[in-house]
Structure formats: C-alpha cells, structure tokens
C-alpha cells in the first residue's frame, strides 16, 4: 500500500501527484486535479531568465491560489547564478510550497540553450545549478524532475541521485526514458527502482502510467514513494479520484458522458475567467480534444468544438452532447 509521505516538512496526503506540463498545468487544470485528489500540483515550467527579467507572461504562469496548496513551481535554466536569482524571486514573491528544477524537458528549443535535460550531459553543471538554487531558498524544499540520461549510452541515475541528495534536494521525480527517446519506446521502470535503492530521499516515479492500476504496478515494481501523473490526466482529472479510491481498497467508476461534459464546461469557464475570453477559447481547444472522446459520435463533436469560432457556439455544442 502506498502511504502518505513528506517532501521536506511538507506533508503530502495523497502520493498521486500532477506532473508539470507546459501549456497544460495552469490554474484551471490544476484546481480540478486538486479537487479530485492530486496530492501535489505543479505549475508549468517557467524560464529563469524570464523570471529575473520580470516578464509579465512568464510571471503569469507562476500565479496560484491557496486552495491549490501544496503546490510546486518548476523552473528551468542554464546558469547557476540566474537559476538562484529566479528561485529566490519566486519564493519571495509567490511563496510556493516547493521549488522544482527541470532536468527533464527534452524539447530541442530548451536543450539547445543548455537547459532542461541538457544538464544530464554535464553533471558538474547540474551540481552547480542545484547547489545554487538550494542555497538561495533554504526555507523551501527543492525537488528535481529528471530523465535517466541524455541517451541510452549515458544512463546517470545512480550518479545523479547521489549528487542531488548530497546537494540537499528533498525529492527526485524520475521519468525513466532518456532525453533522446523523448516519449518513444517504453519507460524503464527498473531505473526508478535503481534510484530508490541509491538514495534515501523520496523518489517519485513517472512514465507510462495510463490507468489507475498502473500506479500499483509501478509501486510494486519499483518501491517508489509516489507516482507523478502526466498525460493520463489530460481530459481525465478523475484519474486522481480513481487512483486514490484504489489506494483505500475501493473503486471509483468511470465518469459518465454527462459528467465528462459538465467537467469540461467547468474547465472552460475557469480558463475563460483566468486567461480571458479570446485566449481562453484558443487554449481550450486542445482540452476539448482530450475530454470529448470514447463515446459514439465523439469524433464529430470534437472537430466541431476545435473549430468553434465563439464561446457561445462551443458551449452550445457541449450542451448538444448532453
């Protein structure tokens, strides 16, 4: 049985966590996942350079509300001094519960700048960045989200784990693919087990979780302390409710079509309220694609929603589904 655990002094009541996802984990999505049982939610990853320049669009990604706590803000960057300044700015101005460093993003526009998973190629840089961030925010637990290595010839799980624990990070989330794999092939859960055997701080498993039963399978195979959910939660915030029910020996049914559409509508309203009508409609299009599926006629409704040119027309289509 997976049990509650702590990240530093932060008590995490449910070990099923929402992963940081660019363009997805804004307030509107986070709060739904939190309400449905996510133990910790994370912001989208935020540029350290954008933070210290006080870029408005960057800082907007960090904003959150108390009902989302415990919440982590994830930052990425390539220079220890910049990362340290950004971490301190975030903590001083936003007071998140957790500050997370991204060593996992495999997107070329990030790695070409030396950030994200590019740090996996340079453990000295990883050490310097981590130590600088930890020293800059001693009052907040610093955690890491990382991949297993840059490529299959350079798996660094043990070395990185030892280095990060010595740098006083409070937990490590591991997606056990390499940066070069992106999301192809299978996530090697044995590497999560290896990391758990290497360090004494909490290890959070991530990767190839598609249904609630996979949470238990990962836990049993790896012994990890928590599970971080990414793509399985897209259009499916109920995942957290279902997984937590299983934790307690119960079951939570699949949402009905009406429940799915009603939550989609609420998500839409939250997005319009928090991001504005024009941007909210644009941002919701991908969520329509994730929510509206797995029932007769879903494909046609999905196309119409994605092509909807106004809020009223989109809401009318949602009502038509019900």
The pTM of the full predicted model, rounded to 2 decimals, is 0.94
DSSP element (H, E) containing 5:
strand 5-7
Long-range residue pairs from 312-320, CB within 8 A, at least 24 positions apart, any chain: 314/268, 314/281, 314/284, 314/288, 315/265, 315/268, 318/261, 318/264, 318/265, 318/268
Active site residue 33: no
- pLDDT per residue as tens, the chain (322 positions): 567 789 999 999 999 999 999 999 999 999 999 999 999 999 999 999 999 999 999 999 999 999 999 999 999 999 999 999 999 999 999 999 999 999 988 877 788 777 788 888 999 999 999 999 999 999 999 999 999 999 999 999 999 999 999 999 999 999 999 989 888 989 999 999 999 999 999 999 999 999 999 998 999 999 999 999 999 999 999 999 999 998 888 888 889 999 999 999 999 999 999 999 999 999 999 999 999 998 899 999 999 999 999 999 999 999 999 8
Of 33, 105, 224, 264, the active-site residue reads 105
Rounded to an integer, what is the distance from CA 239 to the centroid of its chain? 14
Nearest residue to 78 (alpha-carbon basis) of 135, 136, 129: 129
Q: What is the distance between the alpha carbons of residues 43 and 129, in angstroms, rounded to a whole number? A: 20
CB of 106 closer than 8 Å to CB of 179: yes
Q: What is the distance between the alpha carbons of residues 318 and 69, in angstroms, rounded to a whole number? A: 31
**Please, what are the domains in the chain?**
5-247 (3.20.20.70), 257-321 (1.10.1200.80)
């Amino acid at each position: 049985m997976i049990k509650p655990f702590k990240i530093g002094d932060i008590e995490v009541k449910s070990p099923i966590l929402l992963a940081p996802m660019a363009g997805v984990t804004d307030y509107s999505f986070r709060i739904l996942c939190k309400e449905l049982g996510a133990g910790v939610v994370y912001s989208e990853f935020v540029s350290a350079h954008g933070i210290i320049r006080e870029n408005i669009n960057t800082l907007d990604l960090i904003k959150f509300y108390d009902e989302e706590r415990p919440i982590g803000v994830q930052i990425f960057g390539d220079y220890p001094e910049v990362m340290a300044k950004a971490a301190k700015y975030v903590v001083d101005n936003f007071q998140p519960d957790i500050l997370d460093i991204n060593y996992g993003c495999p997107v070329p526009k990030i790695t070409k700048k030396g950030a994200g998973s590019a740090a996996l190629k340079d453990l000295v840089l990883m050490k310097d960045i981590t130590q600088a961030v930890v020293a800059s925010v001693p009052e907040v637990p610093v955690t890491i989200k990382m991949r297993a290595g840059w490529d299959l010839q350079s798996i660094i799980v043990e070395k990185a784990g030892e280095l990060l624990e010595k740098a006083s990070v409070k937990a490590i989330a591991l997606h056990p693919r390499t940066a070069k794999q992106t999301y192809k092939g299978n996530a090697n859960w044995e590497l999560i087990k290896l990391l758990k055997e290497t360090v004494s701080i909490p290890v959070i498993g991530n990767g190839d979780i598609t249904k609630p039963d996979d949470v238990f399978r990962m836990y049993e195979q790896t012994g990890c302390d928590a599970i971080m959910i990414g793509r399985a939660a897209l259009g499916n915030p109920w995942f957290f409710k279902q997984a937590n029910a299983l934790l307690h020996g119960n079951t939570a049914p699949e949402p009905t079509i009406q429940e799915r559409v009603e939550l989609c509508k609420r998500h839409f309203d939250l997005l319009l309220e928090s991001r504005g009508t024009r941007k909210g409609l644009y941002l919701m299009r991908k969520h329509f694609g994730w929510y509206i599926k797995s029932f007769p006629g879903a494909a046609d409704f999905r196309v119409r929603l994605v092509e909807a040119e106004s809020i009223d027309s989109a809401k009318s289509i949602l009502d038509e589904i019900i």
